Each structure stands twice: as structure tokens, then as C-alpha cells.
Amino acid sequence: MHNRKFISLLQAIDTPTLNQFMKYVASPYFNSNKRALTLMEVLKKYHPEYNSPALKIERVYKKVFGNKAFREQAVKNLLTELTRLFESFLTQQHFDTDTNYQEEAFWETIIKQNMNELFDKKLEHILERQAQKKRKDAPQYHHQFRLLELDYTWQIAQRSRLKQTKLLPMINQLDQYYIAHKLKYYCVMHNRQRMVTGRFQMPLLDSLLEHLQTEPYSDIPLISFWHKLLLFMTSENSQKEANYSDLKKLLEEKGTTIPIEDARAIYVAVINYCARKTRTGEQKYWEELFQHYERMLQQDLLLEKGYLTPAGHFSNIPAIALRLGKIKWVEQFIKEYKDKIPPKEQKSLVSYVSALLAYHKKDYWDAVFLLKDFEIQGVPTQYVSCKFLLVKAYFELEEFELMEAVINAISIYIRRNEQIPPAPKKAYQNFILMANKMSKAWQNNAHLRDKTALQKKKKDLLEELNNIGAVTQKEWLLQKLKVEE
């Protein structure tokens, strides 16, 4: 029993879902095979591992079929039946949550059954309700098209061809669905094109963009957003900043009028743009980055099932805020979001961000103490960031022996870790090289009354830093190697 397909399906679901499936199998409407229910009652006791010796096929057969002669095929047939029931159960679950499809299926049935007295006024009410929805995604426009199409079908069935129909609104809804979807996937294709060789064919793109120049659909926020994003992504560098400003303004004014998934995708695009700008030294984009993240937090765009997703936002956002000197803001952020991190990562991330805050407040020993609670998780960059912060804290405390011990340990970790790509690995190793040389220079020269030797060493190290290539934490290194006049 342990290697059966159906058992692997049960292992993949949680206990609440299993309980719902039990109700489904117990319903005579969905299942008339009582032995299938008996088998499920046997299997349920061993959720979620299903590795008990009690699940040997002979034992299971006896519990389901009693003293009848053993037939393995009988159990296989029941498992096949349960697999079919499980598949229909998943379909039913989706149907139960998809109110759009429920409405379409209901009205289609009403038309087929010719239940005229139910149709006329109630569909009008639903169409009005749909039009008033604040956030509309592309499927919502398709749903409105389907309802209008059903209304038209009903009128034709009633032979009311002279009566005013909703043909034009129906076509408009279909256009809006098509254009919103098309623009979205043009953006996806353009983004993917940067990561693969060759070029995607984008049929009708030029025609669509030409159409949008004369008919911009400015009253349809979803179309406006994907249109602006496509223009931003495809623009030349000379136009990129202007298109970014247009997209940013649209987010500020109408960001709450589009579905959460679409808003997330568009914010990710502008955040990536700002991040690239900061890497080229354009400091004003740190504030832009912070503002985008702050709006996403205000609109709960970074939360999924009550948790920050990915959890790394809990460290990335405070790091940006602290660069801007927003200490009070970070203190409030930690209080508000520390319980919104997945439990597995909570302790380590809260320790790291609290340490980062302590470091910026110059409470270096507090930072060191807090970093002791950081544990290695699945993301190497978080662990490396923690250890680099510890290196910096020990440097500020002039605890150079402790600093070098951390450097030696993290150097081995980075060299051996195959999850770290070559480019960031080299940047990490260059930081370690520079930090190690700084530690030795300070130890050898900082105690002298005459600071000339240290200043000369700083100049030498600064020249080496400027020629070393990519290096992480470069701003901190530059700050510490600043030569006193």
C-alpha cells in the first residue's frame, strides 16, 4: 500500500483537506461505493505518513472485505475509485471557491431549462454588482463578457430580437479582457527574453500599441497599468526615466484599483529598476525603493496567508530604511511584522534585523549578542549577511581577533557553498579580503600616536579596493578607508 499513487496524493494534503475529502466520500451524492468509504476510514488513521505495518495490503483487505478470500485486485479497484473521487473532489473544491464560474454555470442552466421567471431581473442585478467592483482582474472582464453573452443568448431564445440587446457592451468587455491579458503576457515575454537566447515572436504587438494610442482605455486601470509597464520595459534609456515616472504616478493614484497579484508584479518591476539604479551609485533611488516598499506594506501586497512572502522582505526593507536613517520606522516595523514571519525563519530573522538596528544605533555589543541567535537557513545570502554584519561590529569594537575568527569561518563557508553563484561569491570573497587586510592594518598601526602609517595604509587599501572589481559592502569599506586630512 505504501507506494500506491493514491497514498502519495493523501500524503500531499493537510489534515483539514483530508477531513473535507472524508465528507465528500461519505456523501451518497458523490459516492455510492460504501467500501470506498470504509477504506478511507482505515487509511485516515495513518495520516500523513501512511507507513504503518497495518497498511500491508492483506491487513487492509481484511478490514474492508472481512473474511472473504483475499483478492489484491479488489483493493486496487477501490484505490482507483478513490483516486477518481479525489480528482473530482479537487475540482469541486475549486468550483466552490470560483463564484464567477458558479454564476456562469447557474445562468447557463437557467437558460437551458427555460426558467424565464428567474432570469430577467436577477441577471441585471448581478451585472450591476460586477460593474461596481473596485479591483478588477482580466478574468473579471471575461466574466462580465460571459454574463452579457448569456443575456444575449436568452434574448435570442425568447425571440426578442427587436428588443435592445447588450451586444456592444458584450464586445467591449471581450476587448478589455483580451487587451489586458495580451499586454500582461507581452510584459512576461519581454522579461523572459532577457534570460534566454533568441527572440520571442510577439504577434499583433505593434497593432495593439497603435490601437492604444487612439483608444488608451484610461478608464480601465488594469489596461493602463500593463500598457504603462510594457512601454517602460521596452523604452530606450533616454525614455526610461520618463516612463518610470508615469508608472510610479499611476501606482500612487490607482494602485489600489487593480488586483493584488497584478499590483505585486508591477511593483516588482519598478523595485527592480530602482535597485539597479542604486547599484550604479544613484543614491536618490534608495528613497524611491523605500517608498515603493512602504506602499506595498500599506496595501498588504507583501503578505500571503498572513506571512511576509518571501520572508526575506523582513530583512531587506529595514536595511533600506536604515540606510536612510529611519531608525524609529524600523523599530515600529519590527514590532508590527515580527509575528508575520513563517515560524521556521522567525527567530533568526528577528535576531538579524534587531542586530542591524542595534548596529546603526552604534550599540555594537548588543548587535553581537543578537547575532548569536542567527541559525543557518536555506538561503545562503541571509547567513552571509549576518556574518558580515558581525565582522563590521567587531571592527567597530576593535575586537580584531574575534573579527578574524569570523572572517576565517565565513570564508570557508562561502568557498564550499555551491548554492552561491560565481558573481556574488567573488564579491563576497573580495569583501573578506579587504576586511582581513583592514583588521591587520588597524591592529598594527592604530595604537601609534603618529597616525601617518595608518593613513598611508588606508591610501594603499583604498587604491586596492578601487581596482579589485565587484565587492559587497563597498560603501562601508570606503567609509572606513576614508583618509583624514
**Band of residue 149 on the pLDDT scale cut at 50, 70, 90:** confident
Q: Cell triple for residue 275?
A: 535597485
* pLDDT attached to residue 205: 85
pLDDT of residue 326: 97
Q: Please tell me the predicted confidence (pLDDT) of residue 251.
A: 95
pLDDT class of 28 with cuts at 50, 70, 90? very high
303 three-class SS: strand
Closest CA to 244 of 217, 221, 275, 206: 275
CA distance 63 to 55: 10
- Residue whose C-alpha is closest to residue 393's, from 408, 403, 382, 381: 403
Distance CA 457, CA 437 (A): 10
Cell 536612510 found at: 324
pLDDT at 246: 94
- Residue 337 pLDDT level (bands cut at 50, 70, 90): very high
Please classify residue 211 by burial: count the beta carbons closer than 10 Å to its beta carbon, then call 0-12 exposed, 13-18 middle and 19+ buried.
middle
C-alpha pair distances (Å), 440 with each of 75, 365, 395, 430, 454: 73, 21, 11, 16, 11
CA distances to 166, 436, 446, 460, 473 from 457, rounded to whole Å, are 80, 13, 11, 5, 20
Task: Count other C-beta atoms under 10 Å from residue 166's C-beta.
Answer: 16
3-state secondary structure of 420: coil
Query: What is the spatial distance between Cα 225 and Cα 222, in angstroms, rounded to a whole number?
Result: 5
Task: Please give the pLDDT value at position 164.
Answer: 58
- Tens digit of each residue's pLDDT (9 = 90 or more) over 74-125: 999 999 999 999 999 999 999 999 888 888 888 888 888 877 666 655 667 7
Q: How confident is the model at residue 154 (pLDDT cuts 50, 70, 90)?
A: confident
pLDDT at 325 over 70: yes
% of the chain exceeding 70 in pLDDT: 91
Residue 252 has pLDDT above 70, yes or no: yes
pLDDT recorded at residue 62: 93
In the three-class reduction of DSSP (H, G, I as helix; E, B as strand; rest coil), residue 268 is classed as: helix
- The pLDDT assigned to 4 comes to 79
Phi, psi angle pair for 482, to nearest 5°:
-60, 125
The answer to whether residue 289 scores a pLDDT higher than 80 is yes
User: For position 348, what pLDDT does the model report?
Assistant: 87
- DSSP code for 374: -
The top-scoring range by mean pLDDT among 99-113, 140-154, 162-176, 311-325 is 311-325
Residue from 440, 431, 442 nearest 465 by CA: 431
Q: What is the pLDDT of residue 237?
A: 85
Per-residue confidence at 40, pLDDT binned at 50, 70, 90?
Answer: very high
* Alpha-carbon span 424 to 431, nearest angstrom: 11
Average pLDDT over every residue of 122-144: 74
pLDDT at 327 over 60: yes
Q: Residue 163 pLDDT more than 60?
A: no
pLDDT of 106 reads 86
pLDDT score at 406: 94
Alpha-carbon separation of residue 419 from 26, 412, 416, 423, 426 (angstroms): 47, 14, 9, 12, 13
What average pLDDT does the chain have?
Answer: 88
Segment 356-412, tens digit of pLDDT = 999 999 999 999 999 986 766 667 888 899 999 999 999 999 999 999 999 999 999
Three-state DSSP state, 346? helix
Could you give the 3-state DSSP secondary structure of residue 469? coil
CA distance 156 to 162: 10
Residue 18's contacts (CB-CB under 8 Å, 6 or more residues apart) are 10, 44, 47
- What DSSP element (H or E) covers 118? helix 116-131
Angle between helix 34-44 and 72-97 (nearest 10): 90
Q: Which of 220, 111, 106 is nearest to 174 (CA)?
A: 220
State the pLDDT at residue 112: 83
Which of 268, 262, 190, 183 lies closest to 226 in space, CA to CA?
Answer: 183
Q: Distance (Å, rounded) from C-alpha 318 to C-alpha 311?
A: 13
Instruction: Band the pLDDT of 3: cuts 50, 70, 90.
Output: low
Tell which residue, 48, 42, 45, 53, has the closest CA to residue 10: 48
Cβ contacts of 106 within 8 Å, gap of 6 or more: none
Residues 6+ apart with CB under 8 A from 49: 11
